[in-house]
Structure formats: structure tokens, C-alpha cells
Amino acid sequence: MGYILDPYNPQSNDLDILNSLIRQIKIADDIFECVNNLGGRWILIFNDGKDSRLFHDATGLRQVFYTDKVINEMWCASQPGLIAEELNLRLDEDALSGFINSQQYKNNREYWWPGDSSPFKEIKHLLPNHYLDLKKKICHRYWPKKKLNYISLEEGIKKSSEILKGLMKSAFNRFDLAFAITAGWDSRVLLATSKEFNKSIFYYTLIYYDLTEESPDVKIPSKLLPQLELEHNIIRCPSHMDNEFKEIYKKNVTTAHDAWGIIAQGLYRNYPQNRVCIKANGAEILKCYYRIAPFEKLNAEKLAKLTKMYKNYFAVKHFEKWLLEAKKVEEINNIDILDLFYWEQRMGNWQAMSQLEWDIVQEVFTPFNCRGLLTTLLSTKEKYRRPPDYKLFKKLIVYLWPQVLIKPIYSGHTSIKKFLMKIHLYKFIKGVLFQFR
């Protein structure tokens, strides 16, 4: 369900790719290795008579919610409200009192559900890198299973650029494309991959929340694209949803976001409906987004603090469950557990839900949503991926299309990041000195 792309065979359609998978698979576990380099936004159900498994794309952007053991039958859906309506389930009192009515929920306009939780006790969210055994009604982790092999920066750039260009070419062959561009590193990398066919893409920037035409994320693309002989379009979002649109939007997805609804209405009015939108999300997994000082102990409370859910017992409970499993993975894998956290929690919950809510106005293609691409780039040294320089991203852009760097990259709160890095260094030194007192 959905669509699937093969970067090494960009002319292939969904049926071609499925037939290729069937030819490759000998045993059930082969399926996960076979889809490693595939992109798109999809759900696959595999059944060979012995095993029956359901899983989704690398970062779980085609969402799956499923009924837990408290119900004899296993039901799956793209969002929990569909199952709850069918089975007449009520909101979980713990979720209601501990999360929906909490300040962490109310004060965060882009709130997301922690762990594998949902608003209903009987319904769980299938996280990235996990599959459902439909016969045994059990959820299993299938990745990661082994250590990443470190590669040089040059090798990482060469291999990842091939995958990126292949995915973009595959999408170009399949769809009419639009491109959501900002002033950041992530969208600039993807812009560099579009060189071969950029004249047919609808490039646009959204103005929403507190953004104006003078904001870097709007101003820089508006100057950059004309210099590349590309048209830049601005889509303005309203300050609030109209009542009619809001009623439909909020009914469409359980606990839908008012803030995202405003953006959805802007897209509904002004976005070209026949185009699939290219988004740069997923690159954050590579950018060491979450980090703690070296001497600090990672626990569920720390994860809740990093995600602005500090002291929320509902979030802590579900992060603790995730962390217990993830620490077992850490023993056999060298991926930083906080990068895995961003991958499975932030992308799998926050970004996946935003794409689900916006399905009402657009289909999305996220090129970084490819395990082969992500693991290739995660196999490069962390020093190349860290802020504020993001050397990996800059070298990747230079390799693909250096002209897109004629305008500066705006990476957000760079000065604040530098300040925070200094604070972490100070804490580290203080901790070391304390140990020798």
C-alpha cells in the first residue's frame, strides 16, 4: 500500500519492484534486507504460507496502528481513530489525564505521542524498524542487527549521492513534483539532486506561524531560485482554520493538530493538487540532533526533557519502555542511541503524523526515507555530521551541484547551538574536576 521506489532501477514501477522482491526472497527474514535500498512511502504485507508479516518504509511515514493483546483480533489502520470507531473504543483515561490534558501537550503546538502509545489503551503504534507478526499478533524489532561499518567521507558522499539521485529520478519518472524549500541544509541538499529535471518542478515556500517574507527561510529561497533560473512560489497560510475546514480536518484524524491544520488549509487553497511534494525531513537523523553531556546518564526522564515533555509521567513511562529495548540494540550496534531515538520516535511519531494529517491535501515524497541512504551517511564519522558546520552536507552539495551554494545556508539558531555546545563542554570539564576532588 502506497508507493515504492528503487534508486538503482528508476524506471521500475510498483509492480516491477514487487516482482523483483518475490524473486529475491528465499526465507521470510530476507524481505528486510531486500527492501534496504528502497524508498517511497509504503506498507508491505508478506505472506509465504508459513509467516505473515506487516511492516512499513524506513522511518514509518506510511503509518500503522494496531490493536494490542487486549483484543483477540488484530486490526491495523493508518490512524488509531479508525480502529476505535470500528470497535467502539474509548479514550484511555491514562492518556487523557497524563498527556492530552498536560501542559506539555497544550503548550507544544507540534505535540507528538511518545513511544508506541496512542490515545487508546488497546491500540499501539508500529514504530520504524519493527514488524507485526500477523499470525502470532506480536510486534518484533528487525533492525538494527549488526554494527555499521565505518566508511570514509568520500565514500559516503559518492554512495549516498547515487542513492539520492536515483530516488529523485525514480520519483520524477512516476510523478509530477513539487518541492518545499527553505533556507536550511536539508532542502539545499535535495535541491542539488534535482539539477537534471528541475525545470518541471513546482518550487514553493510556506509562510505560516511567525514567518514573514523577511524571514530567512522565505527570503533566501526567493533570491536563490531566480538566480538558478527557477521560479519560486510563496504559499501563505491563514492565521486560523475556517470553521468548515476545521470540522473536516479534526474529524479526519484523531487528536489532529490545530497548528498543522492552518498549514493544511493554506495548501488546500494554493498547492497544485496534481503534484507529489518533495520534503527534506529525515536528514535530521544524521545531524546529531539530540545529545547530552558525556558524563550524563541517559534515562527516560532525560529523553522526556530533550523532547519538551519534561516531568510528564505518561511520556516517561513510554520512553522507558522504548529505552529498555533500545539499550539491548546498543550492545550489538554502534549507532548512537539518540540518533536511533530521533529516527524511531521523532520521525516515526512527529513527522509521520504530520504527513498523515496532510494526506487530506497532498501526497509526500521524502528522499531521506531510505534505510540504505541513512545507514550509509550514519556510517561516516560523527564529526562530519555535527553542527554548526555540517561538513557532510556541504560536501554532498558541492559534489552534486555547487551552484546552489551561491546563497547562504541558514541553519536556524546557530549561535544558540554554539552556546549550548560550550555549556556541554563546561559541564563535562566540571564533571571531570569533581571526580578528582
SS (H, E, C) the chain: CEEEECCCCCCCCHHHHHHHHHHHCCCCCHHHHHCCCCEEEEEEEEECCCCEEEEECCCCCCCCEEECCCCCCCCEECCHHHHHHHHCCCCCHHHHHHHHCCHHHHCCCCCCCCCCCCCCCCEEECCCCEEEECCCCEEEECCCCCCCCCCCHHHHHHHHHHHHHHHHHHHHHHCCEEEECCCCHHHHHHHHHCHHHHHHCEEEEEECCCCCCCCHHHHHHHHHHHHCCCCEEEEECCCCCCHHHHHHHHHHCCCCCHHHHHHHHHHHHHCCCCCEEECCCCHHHHCCCCCCCCCCCCCHHHHHHHCCCCCCHHHHHHHHHHHHHHHHHHCCCCCCHHHHHHHHHHHHHHHHHHHHHHCCCCCEECCCCCHHHHHHHHCCCHHHCCCCCCHHHHHHHHHHCHHHHCCCCCCCCHHHHHHHHHHHHHHHHHHHHHHCC
What value does the mean pLDDT take over residues 158-166? 96
pLDDT per residue as tens digits for the range 198-217:
889 999 999 999 999 999 99
Whether 426 shows a pLDDT value over 80: the answer reads no
Looking at residue 425, its pLDDT comes to 53
Distances (CA, A) of 280 to 11, 185, 187, 394: 23, 9, 5, 15
Cα distance between residue 197 and residue 166, in whole Å: 12
- For residues 141 and 306, give the distance between their C-alpha atoms in angstroms, rounded to a whole number: 24
Region 96-122: what's the mean pLDDT? 93
Q: What gap in Å lies between CA 340 and CA 146, rounded to an integer?
A: 14
Percent of the chain at pLDDT > 90 equals 83
Average pLDDT over residues 322-326: 94
Are 205 and 234 a contacting pair, CB within 8 Å? yes
Is the separation of the CB atoms in 4 and 42 below 8 Å?
yes
- Which residues on neighbouring strands pair with residue 424, listed in sequence order? none
Residue 421 has pLDDT above 70, yes or no: no
Express each pLDDT in 358-375 by its tens digit.
999 999 999 999 999 999
What is the pLDDT at residue 295?
84
**What are the tens digits of pLDDT across the range 6-49?**
999 999 999 999 999 999 988 888 899 999 999 999 999 999 88
* pLDDT above 70: percentage of residues in the chain: 94
Quote the pLDDT of residue 433. Answer: 46
State mean pLDDT over 188-193: 96
- The confidence score (pLDDT) of residue 69 equals 72
CB 3 within 8 A of CB 41: yes
pLDDT level of residue 192 (50, 70, 90 thresholds): very high
436 pLDDT more than 50:
no
Higher pLDDT, 70 or 269: 269
* Model confidence at 309: pLDDT above 60: yes
Domains detected in the chain: 2-141 (no CATH), 153-286+345-425 (3.40.50.620)
Cα(431)–Cα(17) distance, rounded to whole angstroms? 53
pLDDT at 424 over 60: no
pLDDT tops 50 at residue 414: no
Q: Rounded to whole angstroms, how far apart are CA atoms 125 and 115?
A: 8
Q: Is the pTM of this model over 0.85?
A: yes
- Candidates 236, 232, 228; CA nearest to 178 is 232
Does residue 419 have a pLDDT over 70?
Answer: no
